[in-house]
Structure 1
Amino acid sequence: MDFQEAAEHRDLRDTVRAIAGKFGPDYYVPRAEAGEPTAELWAELGRNGFLGINLPEEYGGGGAGLAELAMVCEETAAAGCPLLLLMVSAAISGEMISDYGTTEQKQHWLPRMASGEAKVVFGITEPDAGSNTHRLSTVAVRDGDDFVLNGTKHYISGVDEAEAVLLVTRTGRDETTGRARLSLFLVPTDTPGFVATRLPVSAKLPEKQFVLHFDDLRLPASALIGEEGNGFHQVFHGLNPERITGAAVCVGIARHVLGQAADYASTRAVWDVPIGQHQGIAHPLAKAKIETDLAALMTAKAAWQHDHGEPAGEAANVAKYAAAEAAAAAVDAAIQTHGGNGFATEYGLLPYWGIARLLQVAPVSREMVLNYVSQHSLGLPRSY
């Protein structure tokens, strides 16, 4: 085991951090407060080749792996600019189109996703299904050479910024088990029958949330990604990258707020000494730093396993759990360090609390990760 980071990875981190640092919290926080997209930063990352770093070179990508994309996610967040759509468009959609798309689909979508010209978001969540994908009610039915879709999706991120949604649908049931057969479709957001309604949330994020309705939405068979009815395998192959990049975003958030809190604690003096001299301030920050470093190690392990074709489900779940917990604890410690200033817009901490707290719920909740580890790692009876 070699824990020395490769020179090219150090260079990658330095370059991404330099690009995102030109924007920083002074750019990100007002957009998060206003719910405005971070379009300028996204375009800059695309121009420099970082949005498609994990995509194949023949389609305009960097030819690297998920490990490198996770570094991009971490370093942008560490510079104060966490980007949820890196987890969605670059990780889930990019990886699934690369792995399962036709040559024509790859040629049409991947180069423009890599350049930042196009985003493809992901639609799986439904109000009555929760984490149970077998209960999805959005249905795609064959009609001649087409498919006709009907159904609803909730909490779909970034639809207003996207050119298409990678949509998970039910296209039948297994005759033996009765479980749903899933299929994935690339659905352009301007397709007739596609209705997106803003879903207001109180968390301060640049990325908006939407409810999607499909009313006899007609798609050609060429919109199908991969094999009809084999979407369950495809979806879970794509969810590991989302969890790994989500963990990387959380590690970056924790690094950013801990750096800000340490600076504040070193310069803010009460009773003639810096407040960071007191263990009541120093220890929570130190604890959060330790938890962040541990989460970063598991995130790196999960990305390595994915890139080397090894089963990455356990490590991806553990990384996402550990990193989300670390980020939430780090933001809480940073707010506490700032005292009343922790709630002041000037210091810009609350948007980071919102995204860290969100990532304890999504893309998979803490409880479902604990269920996974209980069952698959410890061999305990399934509890749900």
Structure 2
Amino acid sequence: MTTLIESEEHKSLRAAVTAFARTHPHTADPEDGKRLWQEAAKLGYIGVNLPEAYGGGGAGIAELALVLEELGAAGNPLLMMIVSPAICGTVISRFGTEEQKREWLPPLADGTRLMAFGITEPDAGSNSHRITTTARRDAATGDWILTGRKVFVSGVDIADATLIVGRTEDARTGRLKPCLFIVPRDAPGFERRPIDMELNAVERQFELTLDDVRLPADALVGDEDAGLLQLFAGLNPERVMTAAFGIGMGRHALSRALDYARERTVWKTPIGAHQAIAHPLAQAHIDLELARLMMQKAAHLYDAGDDAGAGEAANMAKYAAGEACVRAVDQAVHTLGGNGLTREYGLARLITASRVARIAPVSREMILNYVSHQTLGLPKSY
């Protein structure tokens, strides 16, 4: 049964992360971002969800989402937390070989290594069945050879490797099935090109080209025949963590707006006394709190091993958080008026950033499609 009341351990973790995050002012400087990541890792925050046997905290996605939410609420969201420990760390923990676990999980936990994740392609955004990155076996050596392209891959330049979603041919049916491969950053034929984004963030976005990238047989993570099971083991935590990312950002924007509304006086009282200002801010708070409840439910289901239930809840949490984040940021900017667009108050940069929670890793429309046919039983239109 999902508990709606945080444990004392969670409350203590939340307070500790909040205190830590407030000592690091927001910056888009990569060196500052690297320093924040390393310090957070030393305190055990980055690897809190990874197994204790491999240097992690032995907790779950619920705790990792809590960490990211509080970092975001303090204005310091770490986007790579969604990718490195949540997606890649989870997949390797659940399906990796013993050698892969020993090689990757300890440095992912202590922050000395990062891993990126590549799934989206230029012609295969929300439709993962159209992924054209293929992996074929070299019959003579047993190596894998990957060919394809990926776009909107975060942090490839700072990651030691990228977990790439490719497709292999099923020998029995001839159909292509998804598989995951660890591709080192310096692998021959693995090229990256930065995408010029209107985002004020530490992490950059890249387009990747895999031109006959040769990998050893042990680059494959998990069972070649497991397919979607392994893929969604990473995608469900990704949705939960994106919800945390959005909720944290929304809370940060709301906090700045509340500070302003309490102090800014135009007539006889602070502007926060006027219902036209107060009520939209109250509604933004309610929306963020409701999204957090669904995020906590999704994380609880995932950590309990209910992958099917977690899939539905994680999609709903990501949808609710994305919408709540965009509305909170918009209302915060509107509360400050012209000041909301100045660098001094730091809200204008969130206008673009908040859309990330609505767009990625899956659009709001695709979540509505999921709920329509998976939850409500309505027929597909695609």
Change (3 A) 1:174 1:77: farther
Q: What SS is found at the alignment partner of 1:92?
A: helix
Q: Distance in 2 between matches of 1:268 and 1:160?
A: 43
Match of 1:373 among 357, 360, 371: 371
Q: Structure 1: how far apart are the matches of 2:283 and 2:351?
A: 17
What residue in structure 1 maps to residue 197 of structure 2?
201
- 1:43 is matched with which residue: 33, 38, 41? 38
**Contact 1:266/1:275, CA 8 A, preserved across alignment:** yes
Compute the displacement of 1:272 (Å). 2.8
Is residue 267 from structure 1 mapped to residue 263 from structure 2 by the alignment? yes
* Alpha-carbon distance in structure 2 between the residues aligned to 1:301 and 1:116: 28
Partner of 1:82: 77
Secondary structure, aligned partner of 1:251: helix
SS of aligned partner of 2:377: coil
How many correspondences in the alignment? Answer: 377
The whole-number CA distance in structure 2 between the counterparts of 1:269 and 1:326 is 27
Q: CA deviation at 1:238?
A: 1.1
| Residue matched to 1:341 | 339
Residues 222 and 2 of structure 1, relative CA distance in 2, 3 Å threshold: closer
Report the CA distance between 1:20 and its aligned residue: 0.9
The 5 A counterparts of 1:282-301 are 282-301=278-297
Partner of 2:357: 359
Instruction: Tell me the alpha carbon deviations over residues 321-358 of structure 1, each in whole angstroms, 9 at most, x when there is no partner.
Output: 00010011000000000000111000011222222211
Q: How far apart are 1:227 and its partner, in Å?
A: 1.1
**Structure 1 stretch displaced more, 349-358 or 240-249:** 349-358
In structure 2, the partner of 1:233 is 229
Q: CA RMSD in A?
A: 1.4
SS in structure 1 at match of 2:147: strand
Aligned-partner residue type, residue 298 of structure 1: M
Deviates more, 1:305-314 or 1:34-43: 34-43
One of 150, 165, 169 as aligned partner of 1:168? 165
**Are 2:245 and 2:357, in contact at CA under 8 Å, matched by a contact in 1?**
no
Counterpart-to-counterpart distance in 2, 1:269 and 1:175: 73
Residue 99 of structure 2 corresponds to residue 104 of structure 1: yes
Counterpart contact for 1:156–1:209, Cα < 8 Å? yes
What is the TM-score of this pair, normalised by structure 2? Answer: 0.96
Report if aligned partners of 1:172, 1:229 keep a CA contact under 8 Å in 2: no
Distance 1:202-1:2 versus aligned 2 partners, 3 A rule: closer
CA distance in structure 2 between the aligned counterparts of 1:202 and 1:250, rounded to whole angstroms: 18
Identity of paired residues, percent? 53
**Whole-Å Cα distance in 2 between the matches of residues 354 and 89 of structure 1?**
23
Conservation of the 8 A alpha-carbon contact between 1:205 and 1:354: no
Q: How does 1:60-79 map to 2 (within 5 A)?
A: 60-79=55-74
1:140·1:170 contact (CA, 8 Å) conserved in 2? yes
Task: Report the Cα distance in structure 2 between the residues aligned to 1:358 and 1:298, rounded to whole angstroms.
Answer: 19
Matched, 1:216 2:212: yes
TM-score, with structure 1 as normaliser? 0.95
Q: Does 2:150 correspond to 1:149?
A: no
1:184 Cα offset (Å): 0.7
Whichever residue aligns with residue 111 of structure 1, its letter is P
TM-superposed CA distance for 1:249, in Å, is: 1.4
Q: Distance in 2 between matches of 1:130 and 1:114?
A: 30
